[in-house]
């Protein structure tokens, strides 16, 4: 180890700083209670405090900060969706991500290595062309690329014409990126706590008090809290928590599994995704190959990993990258993903007054963390639904106006 | 591999089955408003715990009902749908009355 680094570490001038405020006793009243201290809940708390000066906020989690899907996702950030509402929304999120390290004064390890989605059929090429047009129209970098360009970008991809599903073309998304998921939630929670928000871990919402159609409090394992506004941002528990407020949602909860190999020297630059063979792969800066994208075939509130998924993901990976045949799998895990019928989130008002929803984040919510936090904070502060998230209101299902997001990763499965 | 007890075919690998959604009571569809249909089609309990759900044994196209714990993934029992659905729902009654449908 360089001597200078050791000296730096031992110097008193740079003491280790405390990230989050020590847990205080839970008060009996807050202006706002945010249920769920994942990336989303923390981002909402951050923008409430920073942009709107609302700081009498309790950010509660039944487990620990960022221990839910924020800790389990594969960290893919992109905006090459298909619907206008979706592209605009995720585009603004990617933009916020680009400046997040500076804003926090804290490295979220943003890596802009781009995303390549593979087409193995004529139908896929047609839909990629469509996506590229929509994306470019809305200011997102997205273009159709041929096999030669793919070979230049990913020399070790299996481009054999004798493959079971030969690669015909690709959708290249230069704005695609990854970031350290834990750093994102820590950065947001730290910024919120510095401005007076109270983080309460091991604090489970067990009931919601509604009076005259309006939310008035939250019952927790640490006592009852009265409050003016509640935001639920609980990812894989949306139906369960919604039920406490008497709200039924168009959501089904499925485990989504991913895994990671032993580390290798840098060999794969962009994130590579194949909707057809059902897998996506990228190499982290640590060298591990992250392999993702397998949902269980039926709903379940359990985060066990299965041998079935290990086999399915491995087989698909080997179609694309045969050189990984000898790779050892280091870890495999799952998170509960709340899937909506149109592969779009549910944000905004609920049937209960002052009870706001940030739900239905399925397999796509990490990339949305900054923008949903910002928009939900604006909703809480002003009571009005920002135009950017209006299309995603729960009401859309009653109007039969779904935002059919065929560009979602899971949609192609 | 996980197995599921099919009332027709016995114990089979879970990969032979297709999940078909929660069992819903359909009261009288003739009285359904657009809102009722939206709820019926899109909204579900999605409960953590015991649920009744439709399953299909794909090789034999046999639909049945299973009671499953969605936290532990244990199937408590499975049985033919005729145990719950004792008569056919007639969707054509309005047509019988000469209404435009
Ligand atoms: C394997 C996998 C891969 C994924 N890959 C990607 C990807 O590459 N890109 C992408 O954009 N998205 C991805 N996702 C989706 C993404 O992880 C989620 O959509 C996102 O993390 C949701 O953030 P959140 O803050 O809402 O949820 P979470 O981080 O899950 O936070 C919710 C919190 O609520 C808490 N909670 C639940 N119930 C209660 C209660 N009753 N009381 C108090 N607290 C409660 C939980 O403990 C949890 O900490 C992936 C998901 C999985 C599982």
Q: Mean pLDDT by 10-residue block, N- to C-terminus, for chain B (101 residues)? A: 94 96 83 90 95 97 97 96 85 58 45
**For residue A407, pLDDT beyond 90:** no
Nearest CA in chain A to B13: A308
Report d(CA B38, CA A155) in Å as an integer: 49
Examine residue B92 and state whether it is found in any structural domain, yes or no: no
pLDDT tens-digit series, residues A189-211: 999 999 999 999 999 999 999 99
Residue ranges of chain A whose CB lies within 8 Å of a chain B CB = 237, 239-240, 243, 248-253, 297-302, 307-308, 341, 397-398, 400
Residue A100 pLDDT level (bands cut at 50, 70, 90): very high
What is the predicted pLDDT for the residue at A30? Answer: 98
The alpha carbon dihedral of A66, A68, A73, A77 has a sign of: negative
Distances (CA, A) of A191 to A70, A187, A328, A373: 17, 6, 38, 13
A112-175+253-339: CATH architecture: 2-Layer Sandwich (3.30)
Distances (CA, A) of A409 to A89, A225, B87: 16, 38, 41
> Could you tell me the CATH superfamily of domain A23-73+182-250+342-408?
FAD/NAD(P)-binding domain (3.50.50.60)
A-B C-beta contacts closer than 8 Å: 54
Examine residue B68 and state whether it is found in any structural domain, yes or no: yes
Cα distance from B87 to chain A (closest Cα, Å)? 28
The alpha carbon dihedral of A7, A11, A14, A18 has a sign of: positive
CB A184 within 8 A of CB A369: yes
Summarize the confidence of residues A399-411 as an average pLDDT.
82
CB atoms within 10 A of CB A31: 14
Question: Which DSSP state fits A383?
Answer: S
Summarize the confidence of residues A340-356 as an average pLDDT.
97
Instruction: Provide the token pair at A301.
Output: 């509130």
CB A254 within 8 A of CB A300: yes
Pocket-testing residue among A26, A33, A34, A36, ligand 1, by greatest number of atoms within 8 A of Cβ: A36
Token pair 């109270």: residue: A198
Examine residue B101 and state whether it is found in any structural domain, yes or no: no
Measure A251 CA to ligand 1 centroid, in angstroms. 14
Instruction: Provide the token pair at B88.
Output: 């056919």
Examine residue B29 and state whether it is found in any structural domain, yes or no: yes
Measure A172 CA to ligand 1 centroid, in angstroms. 27
Q: From the list B19, B35, B42, which residue is nearest A297 (CB)?
A: B19
Examine residue B95 and state whether it is found in any structural domain, yes or no: no
- For residue B58, the domain's CATH number is 3.30.2270.10
The count of domains in chain B is 1
Task: Give start-end residues of each CATH 3.50.50.60 domain in chain A.
Answer: 23-73+182-250+342-408
Q: From the list B1, B14, B43, which residue is nearest A250 (CB)?
A: B43
pTM above 0.90, yes or no: yes
Report d(CA A104, CA A58) in Å as an integer: 21
What is the predicted pLDDT for the residue at A358? Answer: 98
The residues, ordered by sequence, that sit 6+ positions from B43 with a Cβ below 8 Å of its Cβ are A248, A249, A250, A397
CB A371 within 8 A of CB A361: no
The residues, ordered by sequence, that sit 6+ positions from B61 with a Cβ below 8 Å of its Cβ are none
CA A311 to chain centre: 25
**For residue A347, pLDDT beyond 50:** yes
Cα distance from A36 to chain B (closest Cα, Å)? 18
pLDDT tens-digit series, residues A246-294: 999 999 999 999 999 999 999 999 999 999 999 999 999 999 999 998 8
Cα distance from A204 to chain B (closest Cα, Å)? 16
Examine residue B94 and state whether it is found in any structural domain, yes or no: no
User: From the CB of A231, is ligand 1 less than 6 Å away?
Assistant: no
What is the predicted pLDDT for the residue at B93? Answer: 59
Domain of B29, in residue numbers? 3-85
Average pLDDT for chain A? 95
Examine residue B66 and state whether it is found in any structural domain, yes or no: yes
> Alpha helices, DSSP H only, in A67-163?
69-72, 84-98, 100-104, 122-137, 147-153
The continuous run of DSSP H or E covering A356 comes out as: strand A355-359
Residue ranges of chain B whose CB lies within 8 Å of a chain A CB = 1, 14-15, 18-19, 34-35, 38-39, 42-48, 70-73
Task: Give start-end residues of each CATH 3.30.9.10 domain in chain A.
Answer: 112-175+253-339
Tell me the backbone φ, ψ of residue A9, rounded to 5 degrees: -65, -35
CB A325 within 8 A of CB A310: no
Token pair 């690669």: residue: A167
User: From the CB of A69, is ligand 1 less than 6 Å away?
Assistant: yes
Q: From the list B14, B35, B46, which residue is nearest A252 (CB)?
A: B46
CA A329 to chain centre: 23
């Amino acid at each position: 180890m360089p001597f200078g680094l050791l000296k730096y570490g031992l110097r008193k001038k740079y003491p280790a700083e405390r990230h989050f405020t020590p847990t205080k006793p839970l008060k009996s009243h807050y202006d706002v209670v945010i249920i769920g201290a994942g990336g989303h809940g923390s981002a909402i708390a951050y923008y409430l405090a920073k942009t709107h000066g609302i700081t009498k906020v309790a950010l509660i989690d039944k487990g620990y900060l960022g221990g839910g899907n924020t800790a389990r996702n594969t960290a893919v950030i992109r905006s090459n969706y298909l619907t206008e509402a979706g592209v605009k929304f995720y585009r603004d999120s990617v933009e916020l991500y680009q400046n997040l390290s500076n804003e926090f004064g804290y490295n979220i390890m943003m890596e802009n290595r781009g995303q390549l989605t593979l087409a193995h059929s004529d139908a896929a090429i047609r839909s990629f062309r469509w996506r590229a047009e929509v994306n470019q129209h809305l200011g997102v970098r997205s273009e159709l690329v041929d096999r030669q360009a793919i070979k230049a970008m990913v020399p070790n991809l299996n481009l054999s014409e004798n493959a079971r599903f030969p690669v015909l073309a690709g959708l290249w998304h230069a704005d695609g990126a990854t970031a350290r998921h834990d750093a994102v939630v820590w950065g947001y929670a730290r910024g919120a706590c510095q401005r007076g928000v109270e983080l309460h871990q091991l604090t489970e919402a067990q009931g919601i008090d509604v009076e005259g159609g309006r939310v008035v409090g939250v019952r927790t394992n640490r006592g009852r809290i009265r409050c003016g506004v509640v935001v639920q941002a609980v990812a894989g528990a949306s139906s369960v928590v919604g039920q406490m407020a008497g709200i039924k949602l168009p959501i089904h909860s499925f485990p989504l599994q991913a895994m990671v190999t032993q580390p290798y020297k840098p060999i794969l630059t962009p994130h590579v995704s194949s909707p057809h063979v059902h897998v996506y792969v990228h190499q982290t800066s640590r060298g591990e190959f992250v392999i993702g994208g397998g949902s269980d075939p039926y709903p379940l509130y359990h985060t066990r990993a299965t041998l079935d998924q290990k086999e399915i993901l491995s087989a698909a990976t080997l179609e694309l990258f045969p050189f990984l045949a000898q790779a050892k799998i280091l870890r495999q895990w799952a998170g509960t993903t709340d899937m909506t019928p149109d592969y779009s989130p549910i944000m905004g008002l609920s049937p209960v007054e002052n009870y706001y929803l940030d739900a239905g984040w399925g397999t796509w919510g990490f990339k949305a963390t900054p923008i949903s936090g910002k928009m939900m904070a604006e909703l809480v502060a002003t009571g009005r639904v920002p135009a950017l998230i209006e299309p995603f209101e729960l009401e859309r299902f009653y109007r039969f106006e779904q935002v059919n997001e065929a560009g979602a990763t899971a949609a192609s499965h | 591999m996980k197995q599921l007890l099919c009332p027709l075919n016995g114990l089979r690998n879970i990969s032979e089955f297709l999940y078909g959604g929660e069992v819903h009571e359909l009261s009288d569809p003739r009285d359904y408003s657009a809102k009722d249909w939206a709820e019926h089609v899109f909204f579900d309990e999605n409960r953590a715990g015991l649920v009744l759900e439709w399953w299909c044994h794909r090789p034999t196209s046999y639909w049945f009902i299973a009671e499953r714990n969605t936290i532990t993934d244990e199937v408590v029992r499975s049985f033919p749908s005729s145990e719950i659905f004792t008569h056919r729902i007639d969707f054509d009654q309005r047509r019988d009355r000469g209404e435009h449908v």
